[in-house]
Amino acid sequence: MSLSSGLVGPNSGRWHSRPTTANATRLPCLPAEDTFAPVNAGDTTADAFAHHNGGVLVMFLLVPVAYFLGTFPSADLVARRAGHDVNEEGSGNPGTSNIVRLMGWKAGAVVLLLDMGKGALAAGVGLALDGHRGAFILGVAAVLGHVFPITRHFKGGRGVATAAGVVAVVFPFVVIVLAVVWIAIARGLHKASIASVVCAALFPVIVLVRGGGKLDLFVTCGLAAVVIVRHFSNLRRLVRGEELGLGGDNPGRG
């Protein structure tokens, strides 16, 4: 056999055009050219990290804004339009319950929606920027602004309605359940303070039963604690039989 016939045999053409299995295993399999290019240049890890942290930075810059949103004096403005001073009349608390005592349920509903709107707006912006964590951060800032407003020497409302607005954004089902419980207790006992304290205590329990995470439980317990502590004066009056009823200034109503 000649050298040329040994190099170029009858199967040599097939080796070039259709490699056998044995030869195929020896050949390196090179990836396609477009494999080396990212699918989307904007989806790199660095870009995603920068985008996420940019949103978090914006959110933290909005914390003071959320706080001052919480200081918006809903009850004061509604009461003044009717010639009332919500800080001096009734229980002296600038909140929905006192407006109901002074002006009735319609005016109380206006204050309730305004106060809930403060919490819902803050939590909604936070949710868009950073999910549940953002909703909690800005929502809690709004609640603190309502409860401890710098514009009123840190003497604000009880925080129930504003906290309810935050809950409505993060846990809409929970706020529906708590609203039913609040209405049932308030109508039955004519005591908004009892209804509010019971709902505040139930809030983290319901979240826990529904499988809430550690962050959810931490924040809900914190909100519940703020609401309950702000009702200590109401509870003391309740023990003495001096707590005002929703329908008027008569403590004997329930």
CB 109 within 8 A of CB 155: no
pLDDT in tens, 195-231: 999 999 999 999 999 988 899 999 999 999 999 999 9
- What is the 3 state secondary structure string of 197-253? HHHHHHHHHHHHHCCCCHHHHHHHHHHHHHHHHHCHHHHHHHHHCCCCECCECCHHH
Whether 10 shows a pLDDT value over 50: the answer reads no
H/E run at residue 156 = none
Give the mean pLDDT of 170-196: 92
Record the pTM. 0.75
Residues 6+ apart with CB under 8 A from 242: 251
